[in-house]
Amino acid sequence: MRKFRRVCVYGGSSEAAGEKHRAAARALGGLLARRGIGLVFGGGRVGLMGEVANGALAEGGEVFGVIPEKLRSLELGHDGCTELFVVDSMHARKMLMAQLSDAFITLPGGYGSMEEMFEVTTWTQLNFHKKPVGLLNVDGYYDFLLAWIAHARSEGFIREVHEDLVTAHSDPATLLDALARVEIPELARWIDKP
């Protein structure tokens, strides 16, 4: 079973997110802190990004933000971070977040959250790293995405060995425990097999 030093959390930056999503973000941040796991996040103070950081900070957790200078200059950076890394691009942001983290969890979000989640999932699939990926499926938010993954598998675009590469649960503690037990398929065992 894996031990996590830090977990990266992706999530929407929209201030329009409802309270159920905000509460889930705070709960996840608090859970990480209580378990002694550092939070890595996008460095913003708005939306679910800000809420997950606030949840961790409220429980005395370590919080590492990574934000591009362009966004920080718009005064969107979170001032309470243990450490706020300012980088020059979105690509640098994503790479540093991945390097700092042992696992990834995606809260509800939009285009950016999905892009980040799918990128690290692809890196896991190709064994560029062996870090588990999870979705916090708040109130069924990701049900359609999970159905798409099953559909892509049935159509032959996702191999059976990778259908469960993204772990999902509605409860943060259950999701974190499940991620600690994930077994990442070895690239050499599936790359040449139909």
Query: Domain 6-139+152-181 is of which CATH architecture?
Result: 3-Layer(aba) Sandwich (3.40)
- The reported pLDDT for the residue numbered 83 is 96
The mean pLDDT value of the chain amounts to 93
pLDDT of 73 above 80: no
Distance CA 155, CA 172 (A): 31
Of residues 194 and 171, more confidence is placed in 171
Return d(Cα 109, Cα 103) in angstroms, integer.
18
pLDDT digits (tens, 9 = 90+) for 88-138: 999 999 999 999 999 999 999 999 999 999 999 999 999 999 999 999 999
Rg of the chain's alpha carbons, rounded to an integer? 16
pTM here is: 0.94
- Share above pLDDT 90 across residues of the chain, in percent, rounded to a whole number: 82
In the chain, where the domains are located: 6-139+152-181
pLDDT at residue 75, as a whole number: 60
Q: Taking residues 160-184, what's their average pLDDT?
A: 95
Q: Helices H, strands E: what count in the chain?
A: 8, 7
Q: pLDDT at residue 193 above 60?
A: no
**Whole-number Å distance between alpha carbons of 80 and 102:** 22
